[in-house]
Structure 1
Amino acid sequence: MKLALGTVQFGLSYGVSNTQGIPSDNQLAEIFSMATKYQLNTFDTAIAYGNAEERIAPFLNQDSKVISKFPKPSSKGELENAIVQSLQTLRLESLYGFMSHNGDFLIENPKLWDVLLKFKSDRKINKIGYSLYHPEQLEKLLKLGLQPDIIQVPFSLLDRKFEPYFKELKSNNVEIHCRSVFLQGLYFLDLNKIPTKLEVLKPSLLTLHQVAKDAKNEMVDLALNYVLENKFVDKVVIGVENAKQLEQSISSSLRWKEDKEIFEAINNIKVVNKELLNPANW
């Protein structure tokens, strides 16, 4: 199971295509029941995701692999407290992974890495690393000697800026998790209703929709499996608003048939203003 369940939607109203808001307690129970049914046991969360850590805690068990992320700390002591608090909130003895929510936090204060190494040595964290937004962050962090066990990066149909680094990362046994495979739902929006600020992306999105149509693929299937089929990717983090969406994603991954030609067509799509592929710039 290469899918991992993202939990930002469980604590915050998130995504340009989210029309349902934060799932209710009953909906959350249904989502985790569906995850259990398909042996999906990797969960991505963060301290900054509202009360997501607290909400998912009752559904976790000894087989759950939980990755959380810390916001910018003002000191090593504050980071230590954040880790302890996350473990308490999640009701776990240890975390599968713990990351800087933004690689910049470690670039600005590399000594924070010592805290992560200590908790890893104490077996409170299995894998340490960082979540990234730009390849330049990765290059700076590696130059600082902060070799991760695990990273999370955006990677999707049109946003492939980290792909050139995948092979080398895997050669160093780095676990690669990819997020934003649906670009917060941008790939599914009616292109006649695209936000004004993103109009410049419309030609690329139109081409992408045509590629999917020609291949008789649903965009959701194409977006998900384009990333899942990448041999260097370990986990694909997806967010859902209800159990039905999760089941649809799992079913999509199970029924997908390899199609190298359509992936080549996607790789040939050119994008102007690539910085708009980062939702932080919306």
Structure 2
Amino acid sequence: MKITLGTVQFGIQYGISNTHGVPSDSELESIFSVASELGIKQLDTAKAYGNAEERIGQLSNSKFDIITKFPNVDSKEDLEIALSESLQKLNVSSIYGYLAHNADVLIQNPSLWEVLLDAKKEGKIKKIGYSLYNPEQLEQLLDLNCIPDLVQLPYSILDRKFEKQLSILKQLGTEVHVRSVFLQGLYFMNPNKLPEKLQPLQDSLLELKNLCIENNVSVGEVALNYVISNPNIDKLVIGIETAEQLRENINLVTNWKSNKILFSKIEAIEIKDKSLLNPVNW
């Protein structure tokens, strides 16, 4: 199972197309139960996701390996405190992965890497790394000899800026996790009803939807399976708001029939303003 369950929606209202809000405790318990049933073994969370860490600690019954992320910190001591607080909230003594939420914090203060290495030696963390936003960050960190066990980066059918870096990371033995597969729900929006700022993406999204209609597949199917089919990607982080959404997404993966011609046509779609593929610019 190449799916890791993203948990940002469990602590804060998140995503341009989120209509359900933050799930209740009972809904969250159902989500964890369904995830376990479907063979999902990892949760991805962060200190910045509201009270998501606490809710995971209270409601997940220790069924999952957990990856969490630390925010910008000013010192080694601050990072040690952040890790301790996350372990306490998650109700665990160790976690699968611990990442800088924004790789820039390590670029600005590379000595923080020593704290992560020490915590790994102590058995508090299995894999250390960082969450990337642009390829330049990876280049800078490799130059600083911050070789990650695990990275998370944005990648999707229309946003493939990390394509070259994927093979580099695999050569390093790095576990690659991909987020923003649905671009926070943008791919599901009606291209004719986009907010004004996103209007330049209208033609590209229409082309994508028309290709999907011609091939009798949904945008969701294509978005998920395009990423899953990439051999350089280990895990795909998806966020959901209900247990039913999770079942639907897994069904899209298990029932997929390979379609390389469709993928090639999608790769040929031109994006006029690529900066709009980054949600921070919305």
CA drift of 1:57 comes to: 1.2
SS at match of 2:34: helix
SS at match of 2:85: helix
2:149 alignment counterpart? 149
SS at match of 1:82: helix
Q: Is the 8 A contact 2:5 2:239 kept in 1?
A: yes
Distance in 1 between residues matched to 2:2 and 2:51, nearest whole Å: 25
Distance in 1 between residues matched to 2:165 and 2:63, nearest whole Å: 30
Distance in 2 between residues matched to 1:44 and 1:173, nearest whole Å: 20
What pairs with 1:212-223 in structure 2 (closer than 5 Å)? 212-223=212-223
1:94 alignment counterpart? 94
1:229 alignment counterpart? 229
Distance in 2 between residues matched to 1:14 and 1:189, nearest whole Å: 15
1:176 alignment counterpart? 176
Distance in 2 between residues matched to 1:130 and 1:143, nearest whole Å: 15
| Greater mean deviation of Cα atoms: 267-276 or 65-74 | 267-276
1:277 alignment counterpart? 277
1:131 and 2:131 matched: yes
TM norm structure 1: 0.98
SS at match of 2:159: coil
SS at match of 2:276: helix
% same residue: 52
SS at match of 1:265: helix
Cα deviation code 1:12-42 (max 9, x no counterpart): 0000000111011111011011011112111
1:187 alignment counterpart? 187
Runs of 4+ in 1 over 6 A off after TM superposition: none
| Greater mean deviation of Cα atoms: 187-196 or 62-71 | 62-71
Q: Is the 8 A contact 2:29 2:60 kept in 1?
A: no
CA drift of 1:62 comes to: 5.3
Distance in 1 between residues matched to 2:32 and 2:85, nearest whole Å: 23
1:85 alignment counterpart? 85
CA drift of 1:140 comes to: 0.7
1:252 alignment counterpart? 252
- Return the letter of the residue paired with 2:44: D
Task: Mark the CA change 1:19 to 1:63 in structure 2 (over 3 Å): closer, same or farther.
Answer: closer
Q: Is the 8 A contact 2:128 2:148 kept in 1?
A: yes
Cα deviation code 1:135-163 (max 9, x no counterpart): 11111111111100000000001000001
- Return the letter of the residue paired with 2:106: L
TM norm structure 2: 0.98
- Return the letter of the residue paired with 2:55: R
Q: Is the 8 A contact 2:131 2:153 kept in 1?
A: yes
| Gaps in structure 1 of 5+ consecutive residues | none
Cα deviation code 1:62-119 (max 9, x no counterpart): 5521000000001110000000111111011111000000011111111111110110
CA drift of 1:60 comes to: 3.6
2:264 alignment counterpart? 264
Distance in 2 between residues matched to 1:37 and 1:92, nearest whole Å: 22
- Return the letter of the residue paired with 1:179: R
1:209 alignment counterpart? 209
Distance in 2 between residues matched to 1:9 and 1:203, nearest whole Å: 29
- Return the letter of the residue paired with 2:94: S
- Return the letter of the residue paired with 1:169: L
2:18 alignment counterpart? 18
Distance in 2 between residues matched to 1:235 and 1:56, nearest whole Å: 20
1:27 alignment counterpart? 27
2:6 alignment counterpart? 6
Distance in 1 between residues matched to 2:151 and 2:89, nearest whole Å: 23
SS at match of 2:69: strand
The aligned length equals: 282
Distance in 2 between residues matched to 1:61 and 1:11, nearest whole Å: 17
Cα deviation code 1:164-192 (max 9, x no counterpart): 11112111110000000000000000112
